[in-house]
Amino acid sequence: MKNILQIIIPAGQKRERIDRYLTSHVENATRTKVQDAIRNGEVLVNNKSIKVSYSVSPGDVIIVNSNKPLPPVVLPENIPLEIFYEDYDLLVVNKPAGMVTHPAYKNYSGTLVNALMFRFGIQQLDPTQRPGIVHRLDKDTSGLLVVAKNVIALQKLSKQFALKTSKREYRAIVWGIFKQKKGIIDAPLGRSKSDRKKIAVITGGKPAVTEYEVLEEFEFISFLKLKLRTGRTHQIRSHLNSLQHPVFGDASYNGRIANWNGLTGKKKVFVQNLLEICQRQALHASILGFTHPTSEKELIFTSSLPKDIDEILKKLRKSKKD
């Protein structure tokens, strides 16, 4: 007997071919399997058969027939949250490193959504649903997120993020010294051909633009301010890696190499100590700004650096004086 998986396309989702969308949102799916399922009539959109080239839109209801067991339901969990701001329409959360934003394969508990369900009194969810999630941060990126508390707020906030009228600013510790202290990284991004879990600069990828500015320099490490003009998956991490300036501590994008660029002796030991402090990429979403969906007032929030990043900077500054 086949199980049925239902996916509701969230507000703010850009038009995207359904085979690509399902490949990235269904556990263990491949594009070939998805295309075969569509051609066999096993995928319906709004209760109608569709072609492989169909583009999903916000509000579409996708039904996928599956022979495999469905993922478990998502349950509320009493997880403490650092709330910067809250009213009837939204709340702003300071997400810690290590917390997944929304449930996905192998991460159906301990997520921000589990915590929000407890706070909002929601009993359980299909794992494909993401109550109030307007945007997300990678698991090991800390910082500010806005969450909508009703449908109208979700639609209006999602539109701001889609149109890039919101303000998103990051702080990062990265490898190397930049020749240009300010710059724009304009390079298209897509799934890496060598590793589908990673994002890379590729010909024909989606447009991606990141602004950077060097705030401090050390012997072989820089501290950056970064602004997003687009919001692609792993954008900052992959863009910096493409310039041979990976984010410090980033295991996926060459950031945890203690002998980076030939470091040896005391310098290598110093780096190893810093990596012990930072067990993730040293990337923090520090500033978040947007227009309130009801009052239309401009809101802006600032999050101070988390303990691990702050401690690394203190050690780097001390070593610079010594």
Helix (H, G, I), strand (E, B) or coil at 76: coil
What confidence score (pLDDT) does residue 1 get? 41
One domain, residues 202 and 302: yes
Using a 10 angstrom Cβ sphere, with 0-12 exposed, 13-18 middle and 19 or more buried, the burial of residue 231 is middle
What confidence score (pLDDT) does residue 304 get? 97
The residue whose two tokens read 């500015």 is: 213
pLDDT (tens digit per residue) in 47-58: 888 999 999 988
Residue 57 lies in a domain: yes
Whether 40 shows a pLDDT value over 90: the answer reads no
Quote the mean pLDDT of the chain: 90
**Known catalytic membership, residue 138:** yes
What confidence score (pLDDT) does residue 45 get? 92
Residue 78 lies in a domain: no
The domain that holds 43 is classified in CATH as 3.10.290.10
The domain that holds 299 is classified in CATH as 3.30.2350.10
Bridge partners for 175 per DSSP: 221
Residues 6+ apart with CB under 8 A from 28: 68, 105
Distances from the Cα of 305 to the Cαs of 58, 92, 141, 222, 228, in angstroms?
35, 16, 12, 15, 18
Whether 72 shows a pLDDT value over 80: the answer reads no
One domain, residues 96 and 29: no
One domain, residues 221 and 289: yes
Residue 204 lies in a domain: yes
Which of the following is catalytic: 138, 140, 250, 308?
Answer: 138
Residue 75 lies in a domain: no
The domain containing residue 90 runs over which residues? 83-152
Please give the Cα distance from 95 to 164 (Å, whole number): 21
pLDDT (tens digit per residue) in 226-274: 999 988 899 999 999 999 999 999 999 999 999 988 999 999 999 999 9
What confidence score (pLDDT) does residue 184 get? 97
The residue whose two tokens read 């096993």 is: 42
